[in-house]
């Protein structure tokens, strides 16, 4: 399924060029055009789904498996010192392309964007945390 207004669907069709590092029947993995670090890549499902809410459990599980495989590959080939997996859902969460994707961001000691994911913690009272916790608890 393709969305004709979607940049990543266009990449999938070859209508927009990309640097591909991996491809199988379900995914294409490309280098990010505006990389946060050397080797920053994006796992893209071939099927158009906007976000975590739309992707099937089965496809998400396959994406996670692929992330594991590529993380090991990046560590070996790039000699990176760490790696972030990042997956944004919704504009407020920083999503700019509304076709599900997983960022693989290799991290290097001393790299330019070392504060990439630095956030300061928000204060909640113990009562608020208890309330949030009970609201979120879900049966296995
Ligand atoms: P998001 O902010 O939605 O999680 O991430 C979207 C990512 O897609 C950004 O890091 C951005 O640099 C990348 N991107 C946007 N357009 C293109 C493109 O045409 N080609 C490639 N390779 N990456 C793109
Ligand atoms: Zn798409």
The structure tokens listed for 12 are 């999938």
17-57: pLDDT as tens digits: 999 999 999 999 999 999 999 999 999 999 999 999 999 99
Assess whether pLDDT exceeds 90 at residue 88: yes
Give me the pLDDT at residue 1, please: 60
Closest CA to 11 of 50, 45, 53: 45
Using CA atoms of 116, 120, 125, 128 in order, give the dihedral in degrees to the nearest 10: -30
Q: Residues 115-140: what's their mean pLDDT? A: 90
Under the banding of pLDDT at 50, 70 and 90, the label for residue 2 is confident
**Pocket around ligand 1 at a 6 A CB cut-off:** 7, 16, 18, 30-34, 42, 88, 94-97
From atom 18 of ligand 1, which residue's Cα is the shortest distance away? 33
Q: How far is the CA of 134 from the centre of ligand 2 (A)?
A: 36
DSSP class per residue in 43-66: EEESS---STTTS-HHHHHHHHHH
Assess whether pLDDT exceeds 90 at residue 11: yes
Give me the pLDDT at residue 3, please: 84
Give me the pLDDT at residue 83, please: 97
Instruction: Please count the CA atoms within 13 angstroms of the CA of 40 that sit on its side-chain side.
Output: 16
């Amino acid at each position: 399924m393709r969305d004709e207004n979607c940049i990543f669907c266009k990449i999938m069709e070859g209508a927009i060029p990309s640097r591909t590092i991996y491809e199988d029947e379900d995914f294409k993995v490309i280098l990010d055009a505006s990389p946060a670090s050397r080797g920053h890549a994006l796992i893209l499902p071939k099927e158009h789904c906007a976000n975590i809410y739309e992707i099937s459990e089965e496809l998400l599980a396959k994406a996670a498996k692929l992330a594991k495989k590529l993380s090991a590959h990046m560590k070996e080939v790039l000699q990176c010192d760490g790696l972030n997996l990042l997956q944004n859902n919704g504009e407020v969460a920083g999503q700019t392309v509304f076709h599900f994707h997983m960022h693989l961001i290799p991290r290097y000691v001393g790299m330019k964007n070392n504060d990439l994911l630095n956030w300061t913690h928000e204060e909640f009272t113990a009562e608020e945390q208890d309330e949030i916790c009970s609201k979120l608890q879900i049966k296995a």
